[in-house]
Chains A and B, each alone.
Chain A
Amino acid sequence: MSTGEPLLTIDGLSVSLPGPAGPVPVIKQLDLRVDAGEIVGIAGESGSGKSLTALTLLNLLPPGAVVGGSIRFDGQDLLSLDRRGWQGVRGSGISMVFQDSTAALHPMLTIGRQLTEHIRAGLGLGRAAARTRATELLDQMRIPHPDRALRAYPHQFSGGMRQRVAIAIALACRPRLLIADEPTTALDVTVQAGILALLEEQRRESGLAVLFITHDLGVLSALTRRAYIFYAGRVMESGGTADLLTAPAHPYTAALLGARPHGLSAQRTLRAIPGAPVLPDQLLPGCPFEPRCTFAEDSCRSGPPPQVPTTSGRTLACVVAPDLTGEPVVNR
């Protein structure tokens, strides 16, 4: 599907947030790629840097954040943009759907207002045309009586409907990439399925690329072809979703699945991960997962494990896994 340059290329991204005792690194050496019309997943625990990655892509980090590395989107270097430049990217290049639709919609503005205010500027439409587009969008999102819905306030809708409205708002200016930050976490399973179907439909019909952030491995496997597993601001393992979930190579991915790294003898099973995730400000020199890892060796403590490509098309950040699981590493 991809022709030439990917839609989004993140290269060596690092982000630090201001902390009480100086900057705290929260994302370290992150590489990530999204092709046009592709749904890519990011999975990890809370605090692993998933949402911060999303906010970085829209320059919405809290003041004082320091960003390094490079982000290329649609031929543009995002990190060199000024405020005006970001305004051009937001909404019409990259847009975002948040986890909690109650919090992400302004409680005191009508749906119509929130849906049209950026259409007029973003697509250069007049008031009437913007309204037509808004009605269309709500209809596409299967919201009944779009005309009336435009005049309603967010609290008059159910959670599922609100999230549909939020997606309509995000898609209003025909962005090429949609970041969905756990958009279905707050919803019932049945409602969740409807939203996921909607995203897949948008991908198929308008070539929308989606960066789907979740902690739910079930959703991950249902929606995405490729996925990145985050831990402590780093990518532990990435590759085809089906591969990752059926045959995890990284001990952390395996632990998430409550399973064992594939190819390992059945004696060394692993149910829960002992210990708590490291805090960003108390990071160790070595692999961030090392203190909780059953398979840790001395070599894990010496330095951050390099990202190595494997023959099954994954990238793996673990020193012991290749030997342990027999996952062949591509010759470097």
Chain B
Amino acid sequence: MSETATPAASLPDDPGTLIDPDGDRPAARSGRSRSLLRFIVKKLLTTIGLLFGVTVLTFLLVQAVPGDPSTTNLTEAAQQDPEIVAAYKAKWGLDKPLPVQYLTYLNNLLHGDLGTSQSTGNSILSDLAKYVPATIELAIPAMVLSLLISIGLGMWAAVRKDRAADHTIRAGALIGLSTPSFWLAIVALYIFFYVLGIAPNGGRLSTKFRPPQDITGMYTVDALLTGRPLVFWDALWHLALPVLVLTSLTVSILIRFVRSAMLEVLDQDYVKAAYAKGLPRFTVLRRHVLRAGLVQVVTVGGLAFASLLSGTVLIEQIYSWPGIGQYAYLAALNLDLPAIMGVGLFVALVYILVNLLIDVLYGIIDPRIRVS
């Protein structure tokens, strides 16, 4: 282990270190840590530009909506009051030209003001704070499970290419890919709740329990923190079905990528070289194939995350799961434009940050950082 931790950092940047008596030049001479830093900074700058672009896009979308923003953004009661309307217009700079309006919008955003939801009447930021933890509680276990299962199955399919196992896994993935997520959620609920009666009928907790004290907003974690094991198990029981549905959908998207990444690795000379050294098959698969394949799989992590977010939007409604997906659904149903924009902006922010994290992770895992 000690030899894998930032090994090249200990190689001094002295050009004489790896002098080649044959006379041809070392392929990479500069220290790894420095180029990694440059890589991260570059990614960060791109991300900031992208975030800026996202705010322009959402702003323009609001502008493109037909009708007076003050009437679409204020509750009906508030619209009757000319003072409120005037205050609203001043706050959002609606009497000023577009670029100024955008700057006002940006300024409000930077102060955490995403506007007010028409349907709940709360500030969108506080709404998000209320709904987001429930989604995180769904998404994280689903993400972990999806990655583990798809890496396992994808690798198995690649190793057994064109055999029965491969065909079965690919067929399963194709069917999963063709299944509407919301429909699968209903089918799962029908079977496990209505027919078999072994799953709860949605929700985060049985009615006989009081929700645990709000610390993280995630019931399982809060229950553990406050020492209520029964609540923990009940929350976990409620999590099971939505997590499994989300996982099965994400797995079917990921398996293809994992399989083809692993196939590519299996085809490499270094895998043949590892066998030629006399290493046992399991060691070759675990140490050489998995390691190289994982780098490629990390890059589809973003895809997995997008699929999970899309999945939750559709699934939370069915499982009465008060997460960001249900918030978005209700907002869409009520045509609550500020709330929808708020969710879109928030999700884009999270999505971009996750992709940034993945890029950085990629740079760390693979010693040959490519600064393109």
Contacts and interface: CB of A to CB of B under 8 A. Distances in A.
Given A107-B366, A117-B279, A151-B7, A166 B295 contact: no
Given A108-B295, A151-B11, A113 B3 contact: yes
Main secondary structure of the interface of B (DSSP, over half): loop
Bin the interface of chain A by size: 35 or more
B272 A121 contact: no
Interface stretch (A27-35, A41-49, A141-149, A270-278): A141-149
Contact of A155 (B162, B291, B367): B367
Contact of A191 (B23, B291, B367): B23
A220 interface: no
A118 B21 contact: no
Given A87-B280, A155-B368, A103 B17 contact: no
Given A107-B292, A108-B295, A157 B278 contact: no
Contacts of A188: 22-24
A8 to B, nearest CB: 16
Bin the interface of chain B by size: 35 or more
A290 B177 CA distance: 53
Contacts of B288: 106, 109
A91 B278 contact: yes
Nearest to B267: A62
Contact of A109 (B11, B22, B29, B291): B291
Contacts of A109: 4, 287-288, 291
Interface string B339-371: 000000000000000000000000001111000
A96 B11 CA distance: 29
B277 A91 contact: yes
Nearest to A172: B277
Contacts of A104: 269-270, 272-273
B367 A107 contact: yes
A160 interface: yes
Contacts of A107: 270, 292, 366-368
A221 interface: no
Interface string B16-31: 0111111111111100
A118 B279 CA distance: 6
Interface string A218-247: 000000000000000000000000000000
Interface string B270-290: 101111111111010001100
Contacts of A190: 22-23
B62 interface: no
B10 interface: yes
Contacts of B291: 106, 108-109
Contacts of B3: 110, 112-113, 150-151
Interface in B270-319: 270, 272-281, 283, 287-288, 291-292, 295
A108 to B, nearest CB: 6
Interface string A118-139: 1001100000000000000000
B268 to A, nearest CB: 6
Interface of A: 55, 58, 60, 63, 83, 87-92, 95-96, 98, 100, 103-110, 112-113, 117-118, 121-122, 142, 144-145, 148-153, 155-161, 166, 169-170, 172-173, 187-188, 190-191, 194
9 contacts: A90-B276, A91-B276, A96-B272, A113-B4, A144-B19, A145-B18, A155-B27, A159-B27, A191-B23
Given A122-B277, A156-B18, 20 more contacts: A83-B281, A96-B272, A96-B273, A103-B270, A105-B270, A106-B288, A107-B366, A107-B368, A108-B292, A109-B4, A109-B288, A142-B21, A148-B11, A151-B8, A152-B8, A153-B8, A153-B368, A157-B18, A172-B277, A194-B22
